[in-house]
């Protein structure tokens, strides 16, 4: 699957908005949940509104792929899977906070995607570098440097 920067950004924003000190967020792999719940004869876990909002934009497979990608990229602090189908998230890591700080502004995000597309950069680290440069240039322009 190709990296979808919009999905990564939306996941990071979602986690930032829905976690806090002693406040975990829960994300459910719907596909695994359905098969596990049926096999075990138990009720499925609750799908929280923040995950439902993501599911209006992306498929479960796309959300889970990018969620796992963010974990592997050290952007999300989690204990891993809870059971076979649920992730409990503590917060963003410092790297996750820095990434979303640079990609939060729609103007910076769109400019970053535009530059990445023009020069053929598709890796998350490359996109983060571009976003940092876009922010730096905006600061310099604002300060007339």
When divided into structural domains, the chain yields a total of 2
Domain annotation covers residue 97: no
Question: At 132, is the pLDDT very low, low, confident or very high (cuts 50, 70, 90)?
Answer: very high
Structural domain range at position 45: 5-92
Question: At 41, is the pLDDT very low, low, confident or very high (cuts 50, 70, 90)?
Answer: low
Taken in order 34, 40, 46, 50, the sign of the CA dihedral is negative
Whether residue 54 is found in the same domain as residue 82: yes
Domain annotation covers residue 100: no
Name the residue with higher pLDDT: 82 or 114: 114
Domain annotation covers residue 15: yes
pLDDT at residue 57, as a whole number: 98
Whether residue 113 is found in the same domain as residue 76: no
Give yes or no for residue 66 having a pLDDT over 70. yes
Domain annotation covers residue 98: no
Question: At 71, is the pLDDT very low, low, confident or very high (cuts 50, 70, 90)?
Answer: very high
Instruction: Mark 103-141 as b/e (b = at least 16 C-beta within 10 Å).
Output: beeeebbebbbeebeeeeeeebeebbebbbebbeeeeee
- Whole-structure pTM value: 0.88
């Amino acid at each position: 699957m190709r990296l979808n920067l919009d999905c990564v950004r939306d996941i990071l924003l979602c986690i930032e908005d829905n976690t806090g000190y002693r406040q975990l967020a829960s994300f459910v792999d719907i596909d695994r949940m359905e098969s596990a719940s049926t096999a075990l004869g138990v009720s499925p876990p609750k799908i929280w509104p923040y995950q439902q909002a993501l599911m209006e934009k992306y498929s479960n497979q796309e959300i889970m792929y990018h969620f796992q990608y963010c974990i592997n990229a050290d952007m999300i602090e989690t204990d891993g899977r809870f059971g076979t189908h649920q992730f409990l998230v503590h917060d963003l890591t410092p790297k996750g906070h820095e990434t979303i700080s640079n990609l939060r502004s729609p103007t910076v995000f769109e400019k970053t995607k535009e530059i990445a597309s023009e020069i053929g950069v598709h890796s998350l680290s490359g996109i983060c570098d571009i976003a940092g440069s876009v922010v730096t240039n905006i600061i310099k322009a604002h300060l007339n440097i």
